[in-house]
Amino acid sequence: MEKTLLIIDDDADDIEMFCDAVQEIDERNHCLIATTGKEALQILHSCLKKPDYIFLDLNMPQMGGKQCLREIKQYKQFQDIPVIIYSTSKYKKEIDEILEIGATMFLTKPTIFTELKTAILEIIEKKLESTE
């Protein structure tokens, strides 16, 4: 099933690996890419079709992931989009805080391609099961 995923990350290598994994899951899948929180908000406001998922890195310059998440969640039209925090951070306090702000879940960035692909697939399949 075709999905659109918005990846918000300032690391080009992470973006490339993420988008490769999304395409390998299903070649009809599509990645929207933002390298800053501000760019992500511009993309969200200009898309004809909302993304099915948002994967958001916590540690970015200018607008960090927490601030970006707060911005996204303040718009009613984006509140139903699952936001997965996608980060190397593992601090429980920080994870609890972002879940409280409105993130759907936290995913520690896998460094191995097959692990990343499996994690994305599990997230997509879980969403499909809950909508059927």
Range of the domain at 11: 4-123
List of residues 6+ apart from 43 with CB closer than 8 A: 6, 32, 34
Left if phi > 0, otherwise alpha if psi is -120 to 50, otherwise beta: which for 23?
alpha
Domain of 101: which CATH number?
3.40.50.2300
* pLDDT digit string, tens, across residues 20-75: 999 999 999 999 999 999 999 999 999 988 999 999 999 898 899 999 999 999 99
pLDDT-based confidence at 127, cuts 50/70/90? Answer: low
Mean pLDDT along residues 7-31: 96
The rounded percent of the chain whose pLDDT value lies above 90 is: 77
Structure tokens at 39: 């760019």
The total number of structural domains in the chain stands at: 1
129 occurs within a structural domain? no
Going by the DSSP 8-state scheme, the letter that residue 80 receives in this structure is: T
